Amino acid sequence: MFIYLFMPVFISVLTGLIVLLYDALMINVRKWHLLFISLAGIVISILYSAILWKLPFSFMNGMFVSDNFSIIFSVLFLLSSAIVLLISYPYLNDNNLNFGEYYALILFATAGMIFMASTLNLIVIYLGLELLTLPLVILTCFKKGRDFSHEAAIKFFILSVFSSSFFLFGIAFMFGATGTVNIAQVVMALSTHKGISFPYMLISVGLLILGLGFKISIVPFHIWTPDVYHGAPTPITAFMSTGAKLAGFAALIRILFYIFPAIHSSLTEVFIVLSVITMTLGNIVAISQKNIKRMLAYSSIAHSGYVLMVLTVFSPATVAAAIFYLIVYIIANLGAFGIVLTLRQKDKEYLDITHFSGLAGKNPFLAGFMAVFMFSLAGIPPTAGFMGKFYLFNVAVNNGFTILVIVGLINTVIAAYYYLRIVYLMYMKKETENVPSTISPFVKIPLIILGIATVFFGVFPSSIVALFKTTLFLTLKL
Amino acid sequence: MSMILNYLPLFILAVLVGFFIITSVILSGFIGPKNPNTTKSSPYECGIIPEDTARKKFPIKFYPVAMLFVVFDVELVFIYPWAVVFNKLGVSGYVEMVIFILILLVGYLYILKRGGFEWEKRNF
């Protein structure tokens, strides 16, 4: 039985190895074979995850668990990797970067994400974190010979090693305080000798939040985000801002869910403060950005802040709202990066915000989809972004965090300025510079799917949220 | 408390070792005769005569060699204890080690085909 449990992660690693060897050993490698093998592996992996749905299982005392929570996240990781692979294919060809290594590293990183989402053991979460971070560092400087991306990779590497060491330190404190690294047993262990170990427990949770906060770029730990997002190749930026961020949230929600009952009174204020400064700073700094990748980087910081808003309290509604918001966010973000990717000619990219001026007249397809994704990120009604924010704020109000919701609403208004500026430039301005665009079916098909999903989740959100509410929470408590 | 008492002999040993090291280094510094000459004061008393400072740029080619060595060296570190308890681990232990070696084999083939072992071909 337990071998089926590992299938999603096992198949992603195996596919990565196959792609790596296929590119290295075969004489005449057709590049689309690499893409095809990787996508086939991802599809099989998703199917295996689907088989495991509603069959909660725990292996070796929670070292590896498979419940609905982990399956939803695994499927999301795999889907976002698949879309990233698709949209990066023409980019890789134009930049002469189309090697098996690229696909393999993305698949290994996906395996790391799945590990992070499907374990109760802090050490395994740490291993998953490392397995995710190291490929990302290599992918950040995958485009060799650009000083900018080398700088980004070194920054990313040093800072992520630093934050991982904080995370490890947190695990050590956790073990010292409770004698276990299994988060499901922490609360029980704590209740037996509460007086002595409680302060150490608080230190531990603080360090764990710091380590994961780096990954999901919440504000005091966000400094790396704009530089790394800017320096990395654009598809990798898309990957980092969706899959990697989602993995951080998966681990954070899992840890907080189990630890919260023990220390919730001490944590609530921390999360209120983190949420407020994260969304405010992200949104205000995003206004002044001239580069679209930097703008989206700050916008992704702000979105982390919105999700943190509901992590102040745990109930089925909270987790469902948080996950729905994350899904909405990754759909819109992948779409936005997909469109940023199309504004280029061969290896020259056009990344200024002003390069979007007059896009609607030249290419209504791209402009229309960009508008949909920008509306979704800003939270404007027919799109999914509105429903995501609606559920989020609704949950926060129901739990009595009205002030937090007011701050969130003010932030939404601030955010609307820089999202709608793109729409304004596309539709109302004349073209200032001749910006070419390259659209291939590899980008077009994912864009259409993402656009339809954005509108679909905006119109019919209740079924999926209800699904999360009913299935997710019960099985999380193994 | 009794747990800590069990470690008392170890602690005494550690103190004794530290004491012996420090005193012997200091005492030999005071008591030993000193006849320095150039050969004796060089970093390596025997072997090749050093020509230049070691703090200069090396070709980066050397570093991948060191990295590859570490990878396959660590493999050995895992295999050795595995071999010691081979009988106790049974079939599952055997299968796990095969998977581990297969993954490393993929890495080996990859390095081989990408020219990692060919000194002249490398251009980093």
- Structural domain spans, chain A: 2-476
Asked if the Cβ–Cβ distance from A24 to B103 is below 8 Å, we say no
Identify the closest residue of chain B to A99 by CA–CA distance: B114
Between B118 and A414, residue with greater pLDDT: A414
What are the chain A neighbours of B103 within 8 Å (beta carbons)?
A: 17
* Closest CB to A17 among B103, B113, B114: B103
Q: At residue B124, does pLDDT exceed 60?
A: no
Identify the closest residue of chain A to B108 by CA–CA distance: A21
Q: Bridge partners of A345?
A: A348
Per-window interface: B 76-105 vs A, CB < 8 A: 103
Return the closest-CA partner of residue A111 out of A134, A91, A139. A134
Domain count within chain B: 2
- Give the number of beta-carbon pairs within 8 Å between A and B: 13
Confidence category of residue B11, pLDDT binned at 50, 70, 90? very high
Q: At residue B110, does pLDDT exceed 50?
A: yes
Confidence category of residue B1, pLDDT binned at 50, 70, 90? low
Q: B101 and B72: one domain?
A: yes
What are the chain A neighbours of B95 within 8 Å (beta carbons)?
A: none
Return the closest-CA partner of residue A215 out of A108, A121, A287, A132. A132
Return the closest-CA partner of residue A439 out of A335, A341, A349, A355. A341
Of all residues in chain B, what percent carry a pLDDT higher than 70? 91
- In a domain, residue B124? The reply is no
Looking at residue A368, what is its pLDDT?
A: 93
What are the chain A neighbours of B114 within 8 Å (beta carbons)?
A: 24
- In a domain, residue B30? The reply is yes
- In a domain, residue B86? The reply is yes
Looking at residue B65, what is its pLDDT?
A: 83
Q: Which of B102, B108, B114, B124 to mutate to test the interface with A (most CBs of A within 10 A)?
A: B114
Q: Are A275 and A309 in contact (CB under 8 A)?
A: yes
Q: Which of A20, A99, A102 to mutate to test the interface with B (most CBs of B within 10 A)?
A: A20
CA distance A89 to A26: 20
Asked if the Cβ–Cβ distance from A25 to B109 is below 8 Å, we say yes
pLDDT in tens, chain A (478 residues): 667 778 888 899 999 999 999 988 888 878 888 999 999 999 999 999 888 887 777 777 888 888 888 899 999 999 999 999 999 999 998 888 888 899 999 999 999 999 999 999 999 999 999 999 999 999 999 888 778 889 999 999 999 999 999 999 999 998 888 888 888 888 777 777 655 677 888 888 899 999 999 989 998 889 999 999 999 999 999 999 999 999 999 999 988 888 877 776 778 888 899 999 999 999 999 999 999 999 999 999 999 999 998 888 878 888 889 999 999 999 999 999 999 999 888 778 888 888 888 888 888 999 999 999 999 999 998 899 999 999 999 999 998 889 999 999 999 999 999 999 999 999 998 887 788 887 888 899 999 999 999 999 989 888 888 888 877 765 555 4
Q: How far is B38 from chain A (nearest CA, A)?
A: 43
CB neighbour list of residue A411: distance below 8 Å, 6 or more residues apart: A279, A280, A283, A302, A305, A306
Q: Write out the residue range of the structural domain in which residue B22 sits.
A: 2-41
Q: Does B57 touch chain A (CB under 8 A)?
A: no
What are the chain A neighbours of B109 within 8 Å (beta carbons)?
A: 21, 24-25
Looking at residue A195, what is its pLDDT?
A: 56
What are the chain A neighbours of B113 within 8 Å (beta carbons)?
A: 24-25
Mean pLDDT across chain B, nearest whole number? 83
Looking at residue A127, what is its pLDDT?
A: 94
- In a domain, residue B121? The reply is no
Asked if the Cβ–Cβ distance from A24 to B109 is below 8 Å, we say yes
Identify the closest residue of chain A to B99 by CA–CA distance: A14
Using only C-alpha atoms, chain B has a radius of gyration, in whole angstroms, of 25
Query: Is the confidence metric ipTM above 0.90 for this complex?
Result: no
Looking at residue A478, what is its pLDDT?
A: 47
Give the other-Cβ count within 10 Å of A274's Cβ.
Answer: 22
CB neighbour list of residue B3: distance below 8 Å, 6 or more residues apart: none
Asked if the Cβ–Cβ distance from B106 to A25 is below 8 Å, we say no
Q: Does B109 touch chain A (CB under 8 A)?
A: yes
Asked if the Cβ–Cβ distance from A25 to B103 is below 8 Å, we say no
Asked if the Cβ–Cβ distance from A24 to B113 is below 8 Å, we say yes
Asked if the Cβ–Cβ distance from B106 to A21 is below 8 Å, we say yes
Q: At residue B100, does pLDDT exceed 50?
A: yes
- In a domain, residue B105? The reply is yes
Residue B92 half-sphere exposure toward CB, CA atoms < 13 A: 3
Helix (H) or strand (E) segment spanning residue A349: strand A348-349
Q: How far is B110 from chain A (nearest CA, A)?
A: 6
Q: How far is B106 from chain A (nearest CA, A)?
A: 7
Q: Are strands A64-66 and A348-349 parallel, antiparallel or unpaired?
A: unpaired
Q: Which of A2, A17, A105 to mutate to test the interface with B (most CBs of B within 10 A)?
A: A17
- In a domain, residue B48? The reply is no
Terminal-to-terminal C-alpha distance of chain A: 17
Q: How far is A18 from chain B (nearest CA, A)?
A: 9
Return the closest-CA partner of residue A279 out of A209, A215, A219. A219
CA distance A275 to A259: 19
- In a domain, residue B14? The reply is yes
Q: How far is A344 from chain B (nearest CA, A)?
A: 28
What are the chain B neighbours of A17 within 8 Å (beta carbons)?
A: 103, 106
Asked if the Cβ–Cβ distance from B109 to A17 is below 8 Å, we say no
